[in-house]
């Protein structure tokens, strides 16, 4: 996942929010998702960040409800139902695709 400025995104990120997110995602995509799901819960964010914050919150909720949380080697997260996947995809805002 890459984070880059988007002058057309609304609402605009404050300079401090932009710096914190850039640093978090720069460290690792997982760190960025963790930051979105914990440090920016009530922060007004552009649609792309709101989408990924929701994905991260779903992931962390599933992890927290996992009975095997103490043993990382046995953690499994059930695959969402097809309707959930479809709803998630349909609700995603436009995003740039990157190829490596």
Single pTM value for the model: 0.81
pLDDT tens column, 17-41 = 888 998 999 999 999 999 999 999 8
pLDDT tens column, 32-84 = 999 999 999 888 999 999 999 999 998 888 888 877 777 777 777 778 889 98
CA distances from 80 to 34, 55, 58, 95 (A): 20, 12, 10, 22
């Amino acid at each position: 996942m890459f984070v880059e400025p988007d002058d057309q995104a609304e609402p605009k990120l404050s300079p401090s929010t932009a710096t914190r997110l850039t640093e978090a995602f720069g460290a690792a995509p997982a760190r960025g998702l963790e930051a979105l799901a914990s440090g920016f819960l009530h922060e007004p964010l552009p649609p792309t960040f709101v989408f990924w914050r929701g994905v991260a919150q779903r992931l962390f909720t599933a992890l927290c409800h996992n009975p095997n949380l103490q043993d990382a080697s046995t953690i499994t997260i059930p695959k969402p139902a097809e309707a959930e996947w479809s709803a998630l995809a349909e609700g995603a805002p436009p995003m740039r695709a990157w190829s490596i």
